[in-house]
A and B are shown apart, each in its own frame.
Chain A
Amino acid sequence: MESVAVLAERARRCRAAIIAMGASEHGAHVGGSLSCADILTVLYSRVLNVRPDEPSWPGRDWFVLSKGHASAALYAVLSESGFFSPAECLTYGKNGSRLAGHPLSSLPGVDFPTGSLGHGLSLGVGVALAAKRSGGSNRVFVLLGDGELQEGSNWEAIMSAAQFDLDNLVAVVDRNGWQITGRTEERMRLEPLADRWRAFGWGCVEVDGHDLAELCAAFQALPISTGQPSVVIARTVKGSGVPIFEDRKKSHYVTLTDRLYRRAMAGLNGDRR
């Protein structure tokens, strides 16, 4: 098994790729991509049973990026994992590319196009239900934004997953505390978030979403409760890893200039000026 240090270096490379996509012509959802970079790195390195050279392998675990606007993070991690070449990340947002602002299912490793918030969990419920009913061992992981939970469709899905005892379904909430115009709690309160999930019948654990060892431990202890779906609420920092973006509303969507790109990369590599 790869060491946490190896994962940390992989996560750093993913962040560099995210920053590079943010420096492309059209920019990217940099803040919310950086906040889930560690989660995705751990999932694809240690947790998901997938075959990059056979993306549709029937025995696979499924991953749904419900917060589709974090596509840059997904592209970075998928390319790191071998689903396609890291060089293809350079085509992000360019005419004719497979790498859109929200993921397209033409890209290897993407099962569902996402981007309209509040869809991913229902899709995950369907896949998990199919696996349960057919005796498959597949697990399904759905990464949700925290602001995304304001979409009511999530709560339909949350209710149904508990009703159907889907302990092969795992929701991960990237709890960075921000949405486009401000703090989630100032826009539409989500707290007490863990209590809400528990009240809906889910096993729930809260972790530091940037502590790779803690993330690994949480994902290795699934399901949290037998017979119940699991939710990992990952407390994260928007723009994590890049000081000029950390916990800043403005990091939501950024088109980095050359100067900003250099500052961001310097910050990523330890220069906190």
Chain B
Amino acid sequence: MQRLAARTRYGLSEVIRHDVVIVGGGAAGLRAAIAAVEASPNISVAMVSKVYPMRSHTVSAEGGAAAVAREDDSFEMHGYDTVKGSDFLGDQDVIQYFVEEAPKELTLMDHWGCPWSRNEDGSVATRAFGGMSTKRTWYAADKVGFHMLHTLFQHSMRFDRIVRYDEQFVTKLLVDGGAIRGVVALDVREGVVRTILGRAVILATGGAGKIFPFTTNGNIKTGDGMSLAYREGVALKDMEFVQYHPTGLPGTGILITEATRGEGGYVVNSDGERFLVTRDYGVGTKAELGPRDMISRAIVMEIEAGRGFKGPYGEYVHLDLTHLGEQKISTRLPMVRELAKTYIGVDPVVQPIPIRPVVHYMMGGVDTDIDGATVIPGLYAAGEVACVSLNGANRLGSNSLTECLVFGARAGTKAVEFAAGSNDGSEAVLRRMGEEEAARIEALRGKKKGGEKLARIRRELNQTMESGCGVYREQASMDETVRSVARLKGRYADLALEDTSSVFNTELVVALELGNMLDVAEALAVSAAHRKESRGAHTRKDFQTRDDQNYLYHTICHFDPAGPRLGKKAVTLGTWEPEERKY
């Protein structure tokens, strides 16, 4: 690492050079960083994250990570489950690569210290999960994301060549001469804008749940990486597919893991009926272990039919674990017990937990190929920010933690290969681009001109996303959301800010994040409004069936100042031809 200029405050930016720049320090980013330094003995990696890595949202994942581990399982079974779960929109070459790499990645997690729960003989334990045909979800009680994140982060600390830039918020990708050249980042703490150059850049910034009002996602999930790539001409793919997790706590949206059902929990309506067993919601004998899209729809239908419970934070149904007993709940699901007690005042050992569907995960994201590569040479993406087309129209629970590892590692390796054959670009040009970005940020800080309040625009964005792009969708409300988001983008230009400080100015960060959220919301709403069929998590009241004739393709959404442009990308089929998705 060389420092090319003395540090200055906003306006003039410090320039630093590494070989590979990784944006985001969650599971995908950390795995990519480790893969990169292992791929070459000389390479230096910048890990630039807007939070300290151990605060990344991977930490909130609970239930587990999927990989074939048992004698009664096979890559074919994991592959077919994933393809079917995706409602045949997953790319089958990607899925095949994923299932074959998955066991190796979770084994490495073991070698690096992840405290996997164990069988009596010392082998790694696996549990049942929704849409998975056998027990293949590895777990560490119900704190799997937490343990994986801390394991990866602590393991990453052994490599001096991973240089962290903590609490530095990337606001722009530097693209020049037809290739990626680095990023511009605001050092939140020092108020400095840095130009961090690298021959390859990997986006690993996670999802964008915060564009919705009711989400399991943490405050930091504002779609930053999606917006960064979108603004540079990379398409966002399959953005209409938003996963609602069936079991969130009413009010807060805090996640209650699917492992509750994997361990045998029941979902029950106000008549005390296990409606996933007694009524036909397409989950067949899987009942509570059906895929998330189907169970979320079933819960909404039950509530609409008047069989929900009414509470201070809206209607809900029950997740009943009482029959599992205290021993099992305390050992397998200790976090669920703690969360239910702390955040809704219910001890699941003796009372059912109130739950309702909640926005959880973006199947869509930055369009990449199987290497995590985007159309910009040297720019990669992995994890939830990316759409490598593993998850198609609906992700299976416990595939995403593994996805972060498999495709984080691949992106890390490929980025190093790319960097070796690329060049540094023109430093003078990049320095100027960095300075322009620094000036843009400076103009926004404490900007007095304008009449719009940050919190108000964000609230209205949340409302319109929920009303147009919820569990059930129809044309008129989606079109209205498209128009509302466009209006909000206009109003965003008229923001008034109050905080003029250069030090830890979180109002400035929130304003920049809101800009990203608006980009992602725009792509999402436009993509959703165009797809006139029901597939996976995209469920329409006005087009209730899947239409392979006309819609068996990935939606591609390009940024354009005049409004987003849509296109199509072929789905890679293979072993499995599309068939009716019924369990």
Query: Do A and B interact?
Result: no
